[in-house]
Amino acid sequence: MPAQALPPPCTFLAVGQAFAGTQNVSSSQTSRKDEAWKVKVQLQGCDIQRGYLCGSMEALNVPAAEIPVVTFWEGEMVDNRNHTFYTGKWDASRETDVKHWSQFPSFEPLRADVEKDGGRSLDLANYPYFFMRWKEKFFVNVGTDCGLTIAGFYYICFSRNDGSVHGFYYDPNSSPFQKLELKALMAGQSGHCFASYEFA
Amino acid sequence: MPASTGWGRPEDLVENLSSMDTTARLKALRDVKNQIIGNKTKKLSYIKLGAVPRVVEILASDAEIPLLVQSAAAVGSFACGNEAGVKAVLDSGVLPHLLKMLSFGDNKQVVEACARTLKMIFQSSLAPRSEMLVGQRMELLLNLLNSSNENVAEVAAHVLARCCESVEHQQAIVDAGGMQRLVTLLSGTIRRREAALDGLAALVKNNPQLSLQLAAMEQGRPLALIIKFVKDKIPRTRFLACMCLANISRSCPFCYPQEWDIRTSMLAVIVKLLEEPGQVGEESPIVLADIVANNEELQRAAYKFDAIVKLSALLQRESLPTKQLEGILMALAELCSRLEESRRQLLDQDPGKNAQAAIISALSHPSESVRVASCTCIKSLSRSVKNLRTTLSDERLVFPLFKLLDDPSPVVQVAALSAVSNVVLDFTPHKSVFFQCGGVSQLIQLSRSMDPMLRLNAVWALRNLLYLADMAVKEKVISELTVSTLTSLIHDPEEMVQEQALAFVRNLVYGSVDSVQQVFAEESAILIAVERQLCIACRPEGVYVLSNIAAGNELHKEAVMSFVAPVSQEGRNPSPILRFLQDMSNPQLRVAAVWCVMNLSYPDSPGAVTRVARLRESGIEQQLQKMVDDPCLDVKDRVKTALEQFTGLANV
């Protein structure tokens, strides 16, 4: 991969940042309207140089579960240094990739390049949106029989400007295009506050 | 206890060592020697009975070969693996006699017995290193390097190597021609070449100047030879060559053209040598650690060569020699210092589960260096959120690790503190395990230490402990730490301690209004300390403290306003925060300052309009307008939002 610049830091892409919103479950099997359950995400690890993030995801008011279900996820940043727009695993073909990325309006200016050669020569460092993939790795507080699946992964579009997150869940065995929409939470009473840690 | 048949009473034997009768002397000597071999108790008892000076006397003044051989061997046996024995033989003045024999002795048996004995003495830390490098002794040793007797040459190199404890020692040897002589031996027999490699490795260790000197010597010919030996068919030669080159690389990276490629091929060789029996296998791990230290690419290569799998398997062997155990743990610490896949491999695989148990049990090892190595290994493994959330917050690890905060050795304490700093990040808000084991009290105590390293690492650990911690944890910590200690830390003489203290406060005031309120305790002592620090130096962490406070309630915002936009009789005053907004060397500082302003002008709060007016008067809006094209994207985005807030409130 050609040498690409490191993306500059973004306040919202920092450890400790919490996000909240919903995941839409459009079930084609039921006649009911789309269900949505509340989701809370917290960023716990962030290594921009390696294009790596991780954190927890909490699903509240899930019908099948008695308590909020917490999972641990790891993310890849599409930075053309460590990862590209092509997933190359998790049962996602290139067509799947392009189809999902195209769901995000902010992807439109990049689409031609990505369809041509994966978008490897795009300057993603200075783009106002981060594209990522988030994959849940294990359940933290429940067993695997809780009624939720973590077999798939999310295509994510993250806004630098206000930390809002849009995503689409992909799992060949689940209903397609389940939508994730999150906003960055302010932790303070009336303002935004920030905690930090540093590994020794 | 019945007397052993055929052997006299010990006291009699000792008496007979000084007998006038040669036969009696020889018999007594033989008997003593035979009794003490492999028997520590007997060694100590004969030392007590005063046998050693008499044996040394035989070596010094006797002429008959069997007596000389036996006495040399007996001295060696007394000294072998026995510090009391080493002391006894040294106190009896044996060294000059051994050296004389090695130089002038014409009997091969005698000379070789003396050589073995000298080697044994110099394996102990009690051996007088500085004394060997002075005047005649040094010349004598260097001459012995050229001895026609291989054993003598080997011992001379071995002794020189053990005498390289400081840069001064190393330089003294080189100044006397030692490097040249050792280099000459490189072209000799196998034993001589190995002796030379051993000696040269010690000369260049931690010495950039001498490393460079050796690499550049004779247009690189000796270096080329050493490089060739890395691929030699004899394992010990390969090992010594790797050790020598690793020492050069560590002291003086890139000091010769092909250094990078050589390091990679050394790596492959050393990984294979890990499983070699004997001394080579025992010492290979520490050399591996040296080769990959601070070098991510080599760590990645080592991972591909299965270094971790091999080390992990070795770790689970019973009764590993101390040196080998220390080496394995240090190698794992280096290999896992940067790469997540290495950490995963060590912890996730099935054999890995026992590796973890071995690392934990090494925390209680009698050897100080092993305890340090184990802490360092845990520190590396804990640089991973995933690991911290799964395996590393287990109390079977936490309890013994925290116990080391009380270790008698400060070196162990510092190593334990670093590991603790990461382990307290268990990403749960309750932290009960750390309180249960009394660890938090220990950290607080260490934060008051006179030793700056201990203080720094303790405050660092406390800072990480407070990360997203709940209110109960914060209250407990602050009440035990006390406001007064915290303010001293904020003004600590060491800059790095100040930074961690400010970051601690940032985490303290993060979140709820109750959290923010902490900083107003005891007449706002903590807040005042932070503000004072900000007047002295530009610290992003300090600005984040203000920013977090400004995210609180009206009173909190007003308190920050007093600093940011002080009201005075003269009216308009430049804001201290302008300095931060204007600092083009540090985008983090600018971002933190903009957030502070944004929080102060947060639209939904009652006093926002008044505050915005005051901020405007202090020149802040004007400064923000200059920043709309800030080179840092994050600053640019925040400035845009901040100005929108200002405009929005101005129109109210």
Which tens digit of pLDDT belongs to each residue from B606-640?
899 999 999 998 889 999 999 999 999 999 999 99
Q: Which of residues 127-166 of B touch A (CB under 8 A)?
A: none
Instruction: Please give the Cα distance from B196 to B26 (Å, whole number).
Output: 37
Query: What percent of chain A shows pLDDT beyond 70?
Result: 93
Taking phi over 0 as left and psi of -120 to 50 as alpha, with beta for the rest, A173 belongs to: alpha
Tell me, what's the pLDDT at B605? 86
Q: What is the mean pLDDT of chain A?
A: 89
Which residues of chain B have a CB within 8 Å of the CB of A44?
Answer: 385, 389, 427
pLDDT tier at B3 (50, 70, 90 boundaries)?
very low
The CB-side HSE value for B332 (13 A sphere, CA atoms) comes to 35
Mean pLDDT of A160-174: 93
Residue whose C-alpha is closest to residue B557's, from B615, B627, B500:
B615
Does the beta carbon of B463 lie under 8 angstroms from any beta carbon of chain A?
yes
Confidence tier at A30 by pLDDT (50, 70, 90): very low
Could you report the per-residue pLDDT of B196-214, keeping only the tens digit for each?
999 999 999 999 999 999 9
Task: Give the distance from CA B462 to its chain's centroid.
Answer: 22
Contacts of A71 in chain B (CB under 8 A): none
Residue A43 near residue A104 (C-beta atoms within 8 A): no
Higher-scoring residue by pLDDT: A197, B101? A197
Nearest residue to B646 via CA among B602, B595, B592: B602
Q: What is the pLDDT of residue B544?
A: 96
CB-CB contact of B22 with B67 (8 Å): yes
User: Nearest residue of A to residue B502 by CA position?
Assistant: A196
DSSP A74-98: EEEE--SSS--S---STT--HHHHH
Rounded mean pLDDT of A82-99?
A: 94
Question: What are the residues whose beta carbons fall under 8 Å from the beta carbon of B283, sequence distance 6 or more?
Answer: B239, B243, B323, B324, B327
End-to-end alpha-carbon separation of chain B, Å? 105
Mean pLDDT of B225-251: 95
Interchain contact B503–A (C-beta under 8 A): yes
- The strand pair at A129-139 and A52-60 is best described as unpaired
The one-letter amino acid at B174: V
Is there a contact between A190 and B595 if contact means CB atoms under 8 Å apart? no
Amino acid at B425: L
pTM of the predicted protein model: 0.88
B residues 539-598 lying closer than 8 A (beta carbon) to A:
541, 544, 547-548, 550-553, 557, 587-588, 591, 595, 598
Among the partner residues B421, B457, B510, nearest to A194 by beta-carbon distance = B510
Minimal C-alpha gap between A31 and chain B (Å) = 40
Q: Do A197 and B385 touch (CB under 8 A)?
A: no
Q: Which helix (H) or strand (E) holds B583?
A: none
List of chain B residues whose C-beta atoms are within 8 Å of the C-beta of residue A16: 467-468, 510
The residues near A29 (Cβ < 8 Å, ≥ 6 apart) are A175
Tens digit of pLDDT for each residue in B410-457?
A: 999 999 999 999 999 978 777 888 888 889 999 999 999 999 999 999
Lowest mean pLDDT of A130-139, B510-519, B567-576, name the range.
B567-576
Q: What is the pLDDT of residues B351-408, one digit of tens each?
A: 546 788 999 999 999 999 999 999 999 999 999 999 998 888 788 898 999 999 999 9
Say if residue B479's pLDDT is above 80. yes
B441: which residues sit within 8 A by CB, 6+ positions away? B480
Long-range contacts (CB closer than 8 Å, 24 or more residues apart) made by A138-141: A138/A71, A138/A72, A139/A69, A139/A70, A139/A71, A140/A56, A140/A70, A140/A71, A140/A72, A140/B389, A141/A67, A141/A68, A141/A69, A141/A70
Compare all CA atoms of chain A with the CA of B421 and give the residue at the minimum distance: A200
What confidence category does residue A29 fall into, taking pLDDT thresholds of 50, 70 and 90?
very low
How crowded is residue A93: how many other Cβ atoms within 10 Å of its Cβ? 11
Phi, psi (rounded to 5 degrees) for A34: -55, 135
Q: Which of B175, B114, B105 lies closest to B139, judged by CA?
A: B175
Residues 6 or more apart whose CB falls under 8 angstroms from that of B517 comprise B552, B556
Question: B563 and B576 in contact (C-beta within 8 Å)?
Answer: yes
**So what's the pLDDT on residue B312?**
92
Yes or no, beta carbons of A190 and B599 under 8 Å apart: yes
Angle at alpha carbon of residue B210, lines to B204 and B215, rounded to 5°: 90
What does the alpha-carbon distance between residue B507 and residue B488 come to, in Å, rounded to a whole number?
Answer: 18
- Size (chain B), residues: 652
Residue of B nearest to A52 (CA): B340
Give residues 309 to 328 of B whose Cβ lies within 8 Å of A: none
pLDDT above 70 as % of chain B: 97
β-pair type (A52-60, A165-170): unpaired
- pLDDT greater than 70 at residue A187: yes
Q: At B289, which amino acid appears?
A: A
Number of H helices, E strands in chain A: 2, 8
Q: Can you tell me the mean pLDDT for A10-26?
A: 91
Residue B504 contacts A where some CB pair is shorter than 8 Å: no
| Higher pLDDT pick, A113 / A174 | A113
Q: Record the tokens describing residue B572, joined without a space.
A: 């308009």
Continuous H helices in A41-191: 94-101, 111-117
Nearest to B513 among A16, A189, A197 (CB): A189
Residue A166, CB-side half-sphere exposure with 13 Å CA sphere: 14
Residue B1 clears pLDDT 60, i.e. is over it: no
- The B residues from 379 to 398 touching A (CB cutoff 8 Å) are 379, 382-386, 389
- Give B569's pLDDT tier (boundaries 50, 70, 90): low
Q: Which residues contact B513 (CB under 8 A, 6 or more apart)?
A: A189, B552, B553, B556
What is the DSSP-derived secondary structure letter of residue A116? Answer: H
Quick one: pLDDT band at residue A4, thresholds 50, 70, 90?
low
Confidence of residue B585 (pLDDT cuts 50, 70, 90): very high
* DSSP symbols for B166-233: SHHHHHHHHHTTHHHHHHHHTTS-HHHHHHHHHHHHHHHTT-HHHHHHHHHGGGGHHHHHHHHHTT-S
Which residues make Cβ contacts (< 8 Å) with residue B325, sequence separation at least 6? B315, B362, B365, B367, B370, B373
ipTM: 0.91
Residue A23 pairs in a beta bridge with: A37, A180
Closest chain B residue to A17, measured at CA: B468
pLDDT reported for residue A146: 77
Spatial contact of B512 and B474, defined as CB atoms under 8 Å apart = no
Compute the mean pLDDT over every residue in chain B, rounded to the nearest whole number.
Answer: 91
d(CA B55, CA B335): 50
Distance CA A143, CA A157 (A): 29
Q: What is the pLDDT of residues B7-35, one digit of tens each?
A: 678 888 888 888 888 898 999 999 999 99
Q: Is pLDDT at B573 greater than 80 in this prediction?
A: no
